[in-house]
Amino acid sequence: MTTTVPTRRSWQPAVTYGLIAVNLIAFAFSAKASGSIQGNMAALDVQNLALSERNTANGWWWTAVTSGFLHFGLIHLLVNMYSLYILGSSVEQFLGRARYGAIYAVALLGGSASVLWFGLENTITVGASGAIFGLLGAELVLVLRMKMNPTSLLIVIGANVFMSITVPGISLLGHLGGFVAGAAVAAAMVYVPELIPQEQRTRKKIESVGWACTALVAAVVIALVAVRFATYPDPQVYRYR
């Protein structure tokens, strides 16, 4: 007699796959609306979902989110989706789906906040790269927390920053904003709970403190986005005192 031993299904990065699917759907929508794959941002309905000076002046706050799922052409999409798969799978497996999703969301908004405050004029900004840079920031925090050698990751980060500076049309501000926001959330999750006295540390308390600090970072980023939409183009925004 033979028996079949049940095997555990291999782990899959479900949230990463879901994010990639949303980006692909958004690209299909933009290509259909514009009647072109490479000129997929041509339609007004698509441009109304991007991060731009006009949309911000209109108070269209949702563009801080929707812009993170649009891309300029197929190459832009494929490069970002490949990066999202590689980085996203790693961070999602290490931190779990909920915390990974939080990092991605806050990093996306962090990239938008940076563009809104420092690089909005005469630009149209779209792409998942702000959130992806947030995953880079999170991975750096995790590598440092585990006391691993960060050299290879720092080289990758440096190369990406160099490309952001030298290649035309890339939003350096969006990348930096996403990186800082993603790193801040990851630090809140893995470093702040260590401040709890050893004798009081429980899994529930560690998770509660981590999520509370994550919520604080998210609140700051959301406030930056909200204030910018509420005040733009008020001249007070640009006045130094």
Burial class (CB in 10 A: 0-12, 13-18, 19+), 69: buried
- Whether 129 sits among the annotated catalytic residues: the reply is yes
Q: Which of 76, 129, 152, 164 is catalytic?
A: 129
Give, for 51, the enclosing helix (H) or strand (E): strand 51-52
Is residue 175 flagged as an active site residue?
Answer: yes
- Whose structure tokens read 């939003």? 171
In whole angstroms, how far apart are CA 191 and each of 98, 121, 143, 195? Answer: 18, 37, 12, 8
User: Within a 10 A sphere around the Cβ of 115, how many other Cβ atoms?
Assistant: 27
Contact 118/43 with Cβ under 8 angstroms?
A: no
Token digits for 44? Answer: 């007004």
Closest to 62 measured CA to CA, from 137, 100, 116, 131: 116
Q: Which of 30, 71, 89, 175 is catalytic?
A: 175
Residues designated as active site: 129, 175
